[in-house]
Amino acid sequence: AEAAVKSDPWFESDASGEETRGQLEAGLKELPTKFSEVILLKIWSDKTFAEIGVMLQISQNTAASRYRYGLEMLKRKLVESKTKGDLSL
């Protein structure tokens, strides 16, 4: 049972986690600001779409759309990066 636990992906080494964090940060920096700011506010600041809308002077629906599209763009960038073998983005 102990061997199975060690092979689970959430027990990856810190180096792997740091690499992934670096890839995410680089990908976020490449996104247009209107998408990255919503992602940052939603995930890292734990804001609701209503709060983000007020802060950025946009509607709640626009905030939600920018979040969704921004995550899709970020995912594409990360997938492209891995298929090219460029792990640093």
Determine, yes or no, domain membership for 11: yes
Determine, yes or no, domain membership for 42: yes
Determine, yes or no, domain membership for 52: yes
Among residues 13, 11, 36, 27, the alpha carbon closest in space to that of 82 is found at 27
Determine, yes or no, domain membership for 89: no
- Report the CATH number at residue 61: 1.10.10.10
What pLDDT does 23 receive? 84
Determine, yes or no, domain membership for 8: yes
Determine, yes or no, domain membership for 54: yes
pTM: 0.72
Q: What is the span of the domain harbouring residue 13?
A: 2-84
Determine, yes or no, domain membership for 65: yes
What pLDDT does 19 receive? 78
Per DSSP, the three-state class of 38 is helix
What pLDDT does 10 receive? 46
Domain count of the fold of the chain: 1
What pLDDT does 73 receive? 96
Digit-by-digit pLDDT tens for the chain (89 residues) are 545 444 445 445 556 678 778 888 989 999 999 999 999 999 999 999 999 999 999 999 999 999 999 999 999 988 887 777 655 54
What pLDDT does 85 receive? 64
Output phi, psi for 86, to 5 deg: -95, 90
Determine, yes or no, domain membership for 72: yes
Max Cα-Cα span within the chain: 52
